[in-house]
Structures are given as structure tokens and as C-alpha cells.
Amino acid sequence: MQSTASINELQNLWLRSLDVSVSTKQAYEAGLRTYRIWHVAFKNYSEMKFTSERILEFKQEKIDKVSPNSIRIYLASLKSFFSWAEKERHIMPNPMAGIRSPRPPKEYTKIPLTKDEAEKLLSSIDRNSISGKRNFAIVNLMLYLGLRRIEIIRLDVCDIVSGINGNEIRIFGKGCTSKDKTLPLPGFIFDIIEDYLLKRERYCPTDPLFPSTAYRNNNGRLSDRFVSGKVKELMRHAGVNDPRISCHSLRHTAAVLLIKSGCPHIQVQTLLRHTSAEVTRIYTRYIERQQLMEETGKYIEKLHNSMIS
């Protein structure tokens, strides 16, 4: 059974029914739009003729073109939309029934920086300009506290708090609706932010902590794309060019270096705001695997030397 409503009408009704964050809603909308473009523009299929066979065809074509994570987002969007459409009796049967998403990796696809690479990154940032001081503060927050891009973007000046309990930073986290997390702010990072604000001079408590300096968006919030691109640019400038390393790698670096320094697992989990301890254990397994590879390499070298001597 197919609805008499247009696909645009159904999409709007579905989006209004979603009780999710704005960013998740935008991702779902983009995922459905990607499928619709493929369905009609590339395949010339009827807009309302959805079948499991066609979705499987879409999935198979995308496997060779985009990342598994992108495919999971596309299929999650379709699953949400068609489940809603079936429940509301707009589209029956549900063409997503039986369609499986690629399994998420047990390890992170982006790798952390080594300690030497992290030191090179920090030392290579030019701090003479206001934008340089801003970038240096951003990298320190991501590298030592594991802040995500969205958390950096959402920070306001008033989220940096200095009181009798020491310095703190209030976080508006991923998937949250308010600033419900508070983290201790080490003195050296507080000083870095204070140095940046002194250079900035004019600001209000409710202003973005890290505003844009671009002419068209002067003092507006940074975009996710800008933060990601700027950090990647700083990495390249420092000689860190591994394609497996991205802006999000700074968060992984914080976890790995803290664990290597002896920080208890539960404290790392709390700092990174992981809801599950299993997520944090991914870093422990990464460290163990790296150590195993190093030890195996030594045995291979030992075997080689014994064979040529």
C-alpha cells in the first residue's frame, strides 16, 4: 500500500515527529535526500515505488564509493523513515525489513597522535596573532581534555569558571540539550585561554569563546567544517600528514596518552564523558595491540639476525 501524500509531505511529517537533536535530524534528512536523488535522478524509479530490492541495490552501489560509516547513516535514515511510514500506514510493507547495516568497527578508524607528534603540533602553532592564540587554545582543549568539535563550537566565554574549587569548564556535549557537564580546567590551559582573551579585548560573557575572525562571520560561531579543516591544516604544518589522523584524533590522543601515563580507566571514561566503559576500553585495546606489534617486531628482528649470522 502506498500513501496518496507526496514524498515531500511524508518527509516533512516524519522529520517533525522525530524526538532527536537538531544535528541528528539534519543527518537523517541528508541521508534520505541522498537515497531519493539516487532513486529518481540516477535510476529513474518512480518516486513512491520503494522496494527492498532497490534499497539493497543502493546499498551495494554505495559500498564501493563511500565509507561504511556513511552507509550506516544512510540506512539509519531510511530505517527511521520507513518504520515511521509503516506505523502511520503511509507505506506498506516496510522496504527496510531485513536490510542490515555494515557492522561498526570494534576499533576507531582514526588513530591518535604519538606523544612526539602532539608536541610538534603544539610547538608549531604561531601564537603572535589573535587567531593563532585562539587556535592554540582550541588544540590544547582537544588534546588534553578530549573535547569534541561541537563542544568547542558551543563554548561561551562564561563557560570558563574560576572559583574556590579551582578552574572549571562547562561543556555542552554531543546529544545534550544543555551545558550539563563540568570538567576541571588545568591551570596551564586556563592561562592559555586568559592570554587569548586579553588579546581579544572586547567580548561579553555570552559571546562564543572561540568566534570566527572571518569578515563575513566576524565574531560568529565557528563552523564544524572550519574547526576540522583548521586543525588538519595545523597538523600538516607540523608535519603530521597521516591520512588516518584527523581533528577527532586529538580526542583519541587525549585518551591514549592519559592511559599510558597511568591515569585510571574510570577517570578517563569520566573525562571523555563515555556512557559505557566498553567504549573507553577501545583505547586500552589499541595500546595493547601497539605494544604487541612492537614486541613481535623485535622477535622478527631477532630471528632475522640469527639466520644471517
Task: Look up the pTM and report it.
Answer: 0.74
Q: Distance between CA atoms of 269 and 306, rounded to whole angstroms?
A: 45
Which pLDDT score is estimated for 68?
80
- Give the three-class secondary structure for 47: coil
At what angle are helices 130-145 and 249-260 packed, to 10 degrees? 50
Q: Distance between CA atoms of 105 and 91, rounded to whole angstroms?
A: 32
Q: Would you place residue 4 in the very low, low, confident or very high pLDDT band (cuts 50, 70, 90)? A: low
Let me know: does 139 contact 250? Beta carbons within 8 Å: yes
Mean pLDDT over 203-220 rounds to 84
Mean pLDDT over 170-176 rounds to 77
Which pLDDT score is estimated for 70?
86
Q: Distance between CA atoms of 160 and 200, rounded to whole angstroms?
A: 15
Residue closest to 158 by CA, chosen among 145, 169, 173, 149:
169
Which pLDDT score is estimated for 181?
85
Q: Distance between CA atoms of 86 and 93, rounded to whole angstroms?
A: 7
Mean pLDDT over 186-196 rounds to 95
Let me know: does 156 contact 207? Beta carbons within 8 Å: yes
Q: Is it true that domain 115-275 has CATH number 1.10.443.10?
A: yes
Which pLDDT score is estimated for 187?
93
Q: Is the pLDDT of residue 3 over 60?
A: no
Mean pLDDT over 271-299 rounds to 89
61-99: pLDDT as tens digits? 888 888 888 888 999 999 999 999 999 988 888 999 888
